[in-house]
Amino acid sequence: MHIQQLQLKNYRNYESLDMTFDHAINVIIGENAQGKTNLMEAIYLLAFTKSHRTPREKELVKWEEEYAKIEGRVTKRNQSFPLEIVISAKGKKAKLNRMEQKKLSDYIGAFNVVMFAPEDLTLVKGAPQIRRRFMDMELGQIQPRYIYHLGQFQKILKQRNHVLKQLQRQSTQDRTMLYVLTDQLIEHAATLLERRFVFLTLLRKWASPIHYGISRQLETLHIAYDPTIDVSEEANKGKIADIYNRKFSEIEDKEIDRGTTLIGPHRDDLLFYVNDKNVQIYGSQGQQRTTALAVKLAEIELIYNEVGEYPILLLDDVLSELDDYRQSHLLETIQGKVQTFVSTTSVDGIQHETLNQAAIFRVRDGKVES
């Protein structure tokens, strides 16, 4: 899988841009605030229909312009097809092969991308929502239907929290709507949890041996799921739904007192153990970075095994954050099999034959020279 061409119109600081890429390594060099990360973001957005940097889509439209457009031509399974995202005050439109897609689940997964940026180094030690987002984005790529269940869950969760707030304030005493919404929430929550368990099994399969290699065979990695209910990873959807039912009944009064939903996939977490110690709490910065790198490299292999082709890899200003050994391990792992985009302020100090063969692009003030 690779992206051949990218066209931007009124996107961030780009008035107009038309680029073609090398099938192997593309290095984008530029000082900060010149537009190199905007290029990476545009490729990411073409895959996921949303930015990894901001939820406010109006920020993506160039100042004083009415719309932004991102177009790309992608090759997957030896077929070439166009993708298009248009963002305006009227909303967002996504086209796959020139056909507008009404559902995100019909679009996401057509183009697979793995992003590794400095903020991903906080995957291990950062807040739980970072790890939940990681699971949701990767699951959405390999199982687009997951996006539908996630969207429904988030919509019902918002409604349920509103009802809990009303009961908390005693503006209503009737709990009928709470029970209806709880039943609907459980349906989607059980599906999300079941699929996350399957994803975790696949992630472990690839991350553990990769981590063992990066750590020079000195450390073993184990990834555990930390749910808000007492449930086995082997449980099927029906069993998970039964456990949610019982738990929601037990904590009903407590949720009303708090005015919010206290259990569910929106409060779950991932735990990382290196040599049986929680690396989030007890790990050194080096161990935390090795774990994050192993997980990102595992994503690449996981997608390849589920989809049948390697995803595009975006390395956004991350090489300078890794020491020489981790840099080399990363670049050697991807060499020759993954179309890769590297953004950096300079390639000085990054000594690797992979970059010597790369296509070089220089970015300055929203203009790109190859």
Instruction: Count the helices and strands in the chain (H runs, E runs).
Output: 10, 15
Give the position of tokens 């066209």.
Answer: 7
- Phi and psi of 351, rounded to 5°? -100, 100
What's the average model confidence in pLDDT over 260-282? 97
Q: Tell me, what's the pLDDT at 158?
A: 98
- Is 337 marked as binding a ligand? no
- Is 31 marked as binding a ligand? yes
Q: What residue spans define the domains of the chain?
A: 1-112+310-369, 119-308
Q: Tell me, what's the pLDDT at 352?
A: 67
Q: Widest CA span of the chain, in angstroms?
A: 69
What's the average model confidence in pLDDT over 334-350? 85
Check residue 305 and report its DSSP letter.
Answer: H
- Is 261 marked as binding a ligand? no
What's the average model confidence in pLDDT over 147-159? 97
- Is 235 marked as binding a ligand? no
- Is 219 marked as binding a ligand? no
Q: Is the pLDDT of residue 217 over 90?
A: yes
How do residues 222-248 score in pLDDT, each as one tens digit? 999 999 999 999 999 999 999 999 999
- Is 36 marked as binding a ligand? yes
| 119-308 classified as CATH 3.40.50.1100 | no
Global pTM reads 0.90
124: helix, strand or coil: coil
351 pLDDT band, cuts 50/70/90, is low
- Is 299 marked as binding a ligand? no
Fold of the CATH domain 1-112+310-369: Rossmann fold (3.40.50)
- Is 112 marked as binding a ligand? no
